[in-house]
Amino acid sequence: MFNLNVDIDINSGFCFGVVYAIEMAEDILKEDGQLYCLGDIVHNDEEVKRLEEQGLEIINHERLKDIRDSKILIRAHGEPPSTYQLALENNIELIDASCPVVLKLQNRIKNSYDKEETIYIYGKHGHAEVVGLLGQTSNNAVVFQDLEELDLEELPREITLYSQTTKSTDKFYEINEVLRENGISVKTNDTICRQVSNRDKELRNFATNFDVIVFVSGTKSSNGKVLYKVCKEQNERTYFVSSIQDVKAEWFGMNESVGICGATSTPMWLMEDIKCHLEKL
């Protein structure tokens, strides 16, 4: 017995957008016993598995083309206009669980596009949210993950800048500053979700308070990879796990303190299960 003192970070776990999507899915599954979801409802295999056992079926956009007369859930990341158009054509009832923060951002980008502004989006290439944002511009906006992707000398002298909602606030404003220093007039739209962006600051404090940090996240979660790195920078004894099976006893010593935290896509029940497991070591 290691006699570990284990605490869970109260700020970790699902953001409100993910909570909203999962609650909607659970309500329909209780009523109908089956529901399609376009893409993983959350980037966490354990949570997806739990919902699949209740009747959730994950589909991709290719499969969507062949489905008719059914209910399909749109997850928190949102979707481009083409998905809504296809749903109309195929008599699909869309259960729209798009995060309100994402929907607001989509609307603002659409307004900018209608005004024929030159739109740049700071975000991850191919990310589901970014695909939805690009769709508001008929895929005419420029997406970049890092300033190195852009030729600052060739950039238009006036641009409208947006960001994926889960990006770092500090990095977003650093980008703004560099663009302005290079003579580019930037119409800045800060649409970053503070519930997500503040997690890194909270975790920096949390990670320093324990001997060992167990970071719980799905391997597909971009947010998880970023926040794990934040914890690792503060506490070298930080370990990434996706399930109880990943936990190794050799990480711990007698009477040590252990902090459990996770991404915005990490379910609290999973962190609680890992806590119970550690307390039995």
Distance between CA atoms of 84 and 93, rounded to whole angstroms? 10
Tokens of 258: 């252990």
Q: Is 239 helix (H, G, I), strand (E, B) or coil?
A: strand
Q: Which H or E element spans position 111?
A: helix 100-114
- Selecting among 26, 52, 129, 272, the annotated active-site residue is 129
Task: Specify whether 129 is catalytic.
Answer: yes
The string over 132-164, giving b where at least 16 C-beta atoms fall within 10 Å of a residue's C-beta and e elsewhere, is bbbbbbeeebebeeeeeebeeeebeeebbbbbb
Distance between CA atoms of 13 and 31, rounded to whole angstroms? 26
Distance between CA atoms of 11 and 154, rounded to whole angstroms? 42
Give, in degrees to the nearest 5, the angle at Cα 201 between 160 and 258: 145
Q: Which residues, including other chains, have CB under 8 Å from residue 183's CB and lie 6 or more apart?
A: 157
Instruction: Tell me which residues are annotated as active site.
Output: 129
